[in-house]
């Protein structure tokens, strides 16, 4: 059985950074599932057809990290038909040996509810806005408005809303350095791996 780590949380909380670090540390595969929605939105046209025809190479587009791609991703992620088309892609990825780290907004609740480790990574709205503004060279106040609008859309959608799984470990990175956040995540995974090996 592959060891699956599910990491969820809102934009700019640090989940991608933590997911990449965990994958590198443990030698696991990593999938930023938000890129699936960004790539689907970036393809244009009918979003359901775009989702069904998505290929791994589509995730390498250089424009997928833009704020525009993020907003498009959030809008199409609310479409149940799009989500259904991308679920198989994610399930296949998660099944890879020796393990996989998937980060997104519904990994622990919908995509991999049986994941060995579930983390919900969060941070205050202001901290997240400052981080994303610095990353994109944008205005922090404008970014705060955009993030809050996106959070509201992600939380309120009928299909797989953004929320922590009941058994997820909450990791608030507001006042942590990157190294501290990664260390706490590694500790959680080590704890779970020890428990699995005992069983």
The answer to whether residue 161 scores a pLDDT higher than 80 is: yes
Among 96, 143, 127, residue whose Cα is nearest residue 9? 127
The answer, yes or no, to whether residue 69 has pLDDT greater than 90, is no
Per-residue pLDDT of 165-191, as tens digits, reads 999 999 999 999 999 999 999 999 999
pLDDT of residue 1: 81
- Per-residue model confidence (pLDDT) at position 88: 87
pLDDT for 66 = 84
Please tell me what DSSP assigns to residue 94: H
Whether the predicted pLDDT of 56 surpasses 90: no
Give pLDDT tens digits for 71-109: 888 888 889 899 889 998 899 999 999 999 999 999 999
Sign of CA dihedral 188, 170, 18, 62: positive
């Amino acid at each position: 059985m592959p060891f699956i780590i599910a990491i969820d949380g809102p934009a700019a909380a640090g989940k991608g950074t933590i997911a990449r670090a965990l994958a590198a540390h443990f030698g696991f595969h990593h999938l930023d599932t938000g890129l699936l929605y960004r790539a689907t939105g970036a393809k244009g046209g009918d979003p359901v057809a775009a989702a069904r025809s998505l290929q791994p190479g589509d995730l390498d587009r250089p424009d997928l990290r833009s704020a525009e791609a993020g907003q498009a991703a959030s809008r199409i992620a609310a479409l149940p038909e799009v989500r259904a088309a991308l679920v198989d892609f994610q399930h296949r990825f998660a099944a890879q040996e020796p393990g996989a780290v998937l980060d997104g907004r519904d990994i622990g609740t919908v995509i991999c509810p049986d994941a060995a480790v579930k983390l919900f990574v969060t941070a205050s709205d202001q901290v997240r806005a400052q981080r994303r503004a610095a990353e994109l060279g944008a205005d922090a106040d404008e970014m705060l408005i955009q993030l809050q609008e996106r959070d509201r859309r992600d939380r309120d959608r009928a299909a797989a809303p953004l929320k922590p799984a009941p058994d997820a470990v909450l990791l608030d990175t507001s006042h942590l350095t990157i190294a501290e956040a990664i260390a706490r995540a590694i500790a959680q995974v080590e704890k779970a791996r020890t428990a699995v090996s005992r069983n």
